[in-house]
Amino acid sequence: MNTGSKKIAYNVGGTVLGALVAALAIFGIVQSQNSASMPQENQQVINYNS
């Protein structure tokens, strides 16, 4: 009983941790792309104004 419940707990914990890591990775990629593209847009606006 204990070994089975431990396996289930590890599987659930691993799944939750994996999902969190994946979500953080995707969020980090999206954030880095946004921060990388926004300065370019701002520079274009500044260049057009000047």
pLDDT the model gives residue 43: 54
pLDDT tens-digit map of 31-41: 877 665 555 55
- Reported pTM: 0.51
pLDDT by 10s per residue, the chain, length 50: 678 888 998 999 999 999 999 999 998 888 877 665 555 555 555 566 65
The beta-strand segments (E) located in 1-50 are none
Q: How many distinct structural domains can be found in the chain?
A: 1
- 11/3 Cα distance (integer angstroms): 12
pLDDT the model gives residue 25: 93
The DSSP annotation for 1-50 comes to -HHHHHHHHHHHHHHHHHHHHHHHHHHHHHHHHHHHHHHHHHHHHHHHH-
Range of the domain at 8: 1-50
- 21/26 Cα distance (integer angstroms): 9
